[in-house]
Amino acid sequence: MLQTICYVSSTNYGIVYNDLRHLFHITKRNNIHLNVSGLLILKNGNFLQLLEGEKQDVNKMYKKIRKDNRHHNIIQIINTSSRERLFENYDTGFAIVNNRRKLNQLKSYLNWLKVADMKRVNKLIHLLENFIK
Ligand SMILES: Cc1cc2nc3c(=O)[nH]c(=O)nc-3n(C[C@H](O)[C@H](O)[C@H](O)COP(=O)(O)O)c2cc1C
C-alpha cells in the first residue's frame, strides 16, 4: 500500500548553508535508495516535505525526521493512503527545491499535473502552489 505524508516545519535558528547542503545530500541519497519519492522544499526558512512510497517506509522515515533537531513546529498536513505516486518521475524521484530555478521547474511540473487532470490530487497541487508562490 502506498502512503503520502506532507508536513511543514521551520528551520532551527543557527542552521547554516553547509548543514543544509549536507541534509539535502543525505535526504536525496537515502530516499532514492529506499524508493521514497517526493519533494523537500526550503523557502523563507520553512520546509515543506512530501514523502510518498510504501507505507512502512514512509512512516518510518517520517518518525525519524520528526525527531531531527534541525527543524521545529512540525505540522502534518496530509497523511493518506494513495493509489499512485506524483513525483517518482520528477527530478530522479526525489527533488530538493531550494532555489528560484528549481521553484520555477516545480511550478511547471505542477501545471503539467493540472493539465493531466489529476482531480484526485488537486488539493495537494494547490497546497504546493501556495507554499511556493
Ligand atoms: C526537514 C528535514 C527533512 C528530512 N528529510 C529526510 C528524508 O526525506 N530522508 C532522509 O533520509 N533523511 C531526512 N532528513 C534527515 C534525517 O532526519 C536523518 O538525519 C538522516 O536520515 C540520517 O539518519 P541516520 O543518522 O539514521 O543515518 C531530514 C531532516 C530534516 C530536518
pLDDT computed for residue 93 by the predictor: 93
List phi, psi (to 5°) of 29.
Answer: -60, -50
User: Per mean pLDDT, which range of 1-10, 12-21, 25-34, 36-45 is the poorest?
Assistant: 12-21
CATH for the stretch 2-98 = 3.30.70.100
Contacts of residue 109, defined as CB under 8 A and 6 or more positions apart, other chains included, come to 90
pLDDT computed for residue 117 by the predictor: 67
64 CB near ligand 1 (under 6 Å): yes
37 CB near ligand 1 (under 6 Å): no
How many Å lie between the centroid of ligand 1 and the Cα of residue 70?
10
Mean confidence (pLDDT) of the chain? 93
List phi, psi (to 5°) of 42.
Answer: -120, 120
Residue 105 has pLDDT above 70, yes or no: yes
Angle between helices 55-66 and 17-34 (to 10 degrees): 160
Contact 123, 101 (CB under 8 A): no
Residue 39 has pLDDT above 70, yes or no: yes
Structural domain boundaries of the chain? 2-98
How many Å lie between the centroid of ligand 1 and the Cα of residue 108?
27
Residue 119 has pLDDT above 70, yes or no: no
Residue 116 has pLDDT above 80, yes or no: no
19 CB near ligand 1 (under 6 Å): no
Average pLDDT over residues 23-46: 97
68 CB near ligand 1 (under 6 Å): yes
How many Å lie between the centroid of ligand 1 and the Cα of residue 99?
20
Residue 81 has pLDDT above 70, yes or no: yes
CA count, 13 A, side-chain hemisphere, 127:
16
